[in-house]
Structure formats: structure tokens, C-alpha cells
Structure 1
């Protein structure tokens, strides 16, 4: 079901002239990365964050 949903979303975005789709995966949820890789997504960068007051 997840695969079908993502493929449908990508198709819709493509039909509306979107040429890039980014997925954010939260730390602790890395087990989902192989799912996205099977759909053609590839790791491109790591984002590090610091929160200040």
C-alpha cells in the first residue's frame, strides 16, 4: 500500500511539472530507507541541526 501511495504521489507531482522529490527520514526511522531506495530514491546529503534558545 505504501509503495502504491508513493508511486501515485510521484506520478501526480511529475504530471504537475515537479522535477525533484525529496524525502526526509527522521533519526531513529532509518529502517525505512531501503523501502525508498527500492523506489529509486538515493541518499544525497545529511542534514545536521542544532537548536538554540
Structure 2
């Protein structure tokens, strides 16, 4: 299984299919630059959350 499938199945375990379909629909309407910015924001959010959860 590649990383994309792994992430997708993890998201399905954590969120409703309707939520994921809505997010994918919204993302399909975004241009490449907007998607790259969104990806960068998610990376920053994950870094901040990781630092906040460290002992």
C-alpha cells in the first residue's frame, strides 16, 4: 500500500465519508498554488501540534 492509500484509510477511520468527499470536492476546485499553500499550512499545523505534545 502506498502512502496516499494509507493516509486515506486513516482519514476514513477518523472522519465520516461525507466529510472526506466534501473536502475532496472543495480541493478539486482549487488551483495548484492554493493546494500547495494548504499543504504547507497543514505541515506547519502538524509541527506546532507535535511540539505542544512533547513532554
Q: TM-score if structure 2 supplies the norm length?
A: 0.31
Using the size of structure 1 for normalisation, the TM-score is 0.32
Q: Which has the higher contact order (CA 8 A, sep 6+)?
A: 1
